[in-house]
Amino acid sequence: MNKFLTSVADAYFYNNTGVLLFQGKTLLDDSITTTTNKTEIRGGKGNQLLATYFHTPGMAFKITDTQWNLNILAAAVGTSVQTSTSVYTEETVAVTSGAGSVAGTPLTIQGGVYGWVQLPDLTTAGAVITTTNEKVTFSTKAFTLGVNSTYTGNVCVRYYAANAAATYINIPANIVPPVGRLVLDAQLVTGSASSTSTIGKAEFIIPSCQLSGAFAISMTSAGVSTTPVEAVALADSTLSTGACTDVPTYCKVIEVLNSTNWYDNVYALAISGGDFSLPSGSFPHTIVVYALAPNTDPFIPPVTDLTFSSGTEANLTIAAGVVTRVQAGASLLKALITAAPTIEASCTGTASS
């Protein structure tokens, strides 16, 4: 079965206490880069290449979310998303003889309770607009124009007011990016000339990684800004089995296939020990069947998925791998995969007199 890793992954980043700091479900792209350096060891006549020493391995990740994602930016610089702050507010206000009042509650900004008034760029009857922009000082919510004190009409007022629904982050001057656990979940598909279908997923678990603390946001008149984040894997021993030969890990890659069978990649069966001959007192005898598949060690398949048969049942019978003597003699014993009967193995069993 052919398998392809396609499209982008979903990304989940947890802090060291298991709290989900951000997730990216609408990623534009993500990439994994593994690097290592090598040093040639040379010596002897002609400075021969004797060995190659590989060192300084590294693993880096780049994730770009199509959506604006404040949680990603917060995690990147080691801060958190907070709620309720002052927000720049625009409001249309009716002014009479230069006096007006806003609906919201202006906040102190730059040392005073200020606002900025935008007047229409025109001349009205009885009132010539001297300037289209004025800075005003609020008295609670009221304000009075200065040079345009005789103006009557609508103006646009900009000021800072509290907004409980607003969320924000402060980017610190001293950025310390967090260390956490990154999980990437990507899809596996299989394809043919007639169809393509999802058959499972590939999961990349990075038990310890540190975000870069850097990001770039590009805003253009014809574009949509994305939310990028980069991370580097740190050597981690949480996936260790405790064996003396264990080394720290950067990443664990897992393949999970949907509705697959253990025999999908099996190309042969083998019977342990091959042909056998046993005296009468040694029966019943159980044969052990191994399955052979690429890139994996031989394994014992479920007996319930195998079909056994005896060529000469007058001598030996077999059921679920258990051979029973009927009388002295030999028989060709077969084991095959019930759902894939072309894959089989056989041996000759002989019951001595």
CA dihedral 18, 200, 195, 26 (to 10 degrees): 0
| pLDDT, average across residues 23-41 | 94
Q: Work out the number of other CB atoms within 10 angstroms of the CB of residue 71.
A: 19
Lowest mean pLDDT among 40-44, 90-94, 198-202: 198-202
CATH 3.40.50.300 fits 268-351, yes or no: no
Split at pLDDT 50, 70, 90, the class of 70 is: very high
Question: Which pTM value belongs to this model?
Answer: 0.67
Domain ranges of the chain: 4-39+51-80+174-256, 85-168, 268-351
Coil, strand or helix: which one is 95?
strand
Provide the pLDDT for residue 196. 62
Single-letter residue type at 88: Y
Using the predicted structure, report yes or no on whether residue 189 has a pLDDT greater than 90. no
Strand (E) or helix (H) holding 72: helix 70-76
207-256 pLDDT tens trace: 999 999 988 898 999 889 999 999 999 999 887 777 787 889 999 999 88
Average the pLDDT over 280-288 and give the result: 91
Mean pLDDT score, 311-335: 96
CA distance 79 to 213: 10
Here the tokens at position 8 are 């982008």
Question: How many CB atoms sit inside 10 A of residue 315's CB?
Answer: 17
What mean pLDDT, rounded, does the chain reach?
90
Give the model's pLDDT for residue 289.
Answer: 96
How far, in Å, CA of 116 to CA of 106, rounded? 11
Q: Please work out, in degrees rounded to the nearest 5, the angle formed at the alpha carbon of residue 342 by the alpha carbons of 339 and 348.
A: 110
| Residue 1 scores a pLDDT above 70 | no
**pLDDT class of 192 with cuts at 50, 70, 90:** low
Confidence of residue 259 (pLDDT cuts 50, 70, 90): low
DSSP class of residue 302? P
Question: Could you confirm whether domain 4-39+51-80+174-256 is CATH 2.30.110?
Answer: yes
Strand, coil or helix: 73: helix
pLDDT, tens digit, 9 for 90 and up, residues 95-148: 999 999 999 999 998 888 999 999 886 555 555 566 788 999 999 999 999 988
pLDDT interval class at 65 (50, 70, 90)? very high
For residue 5, pLDDT beyond 80: yes
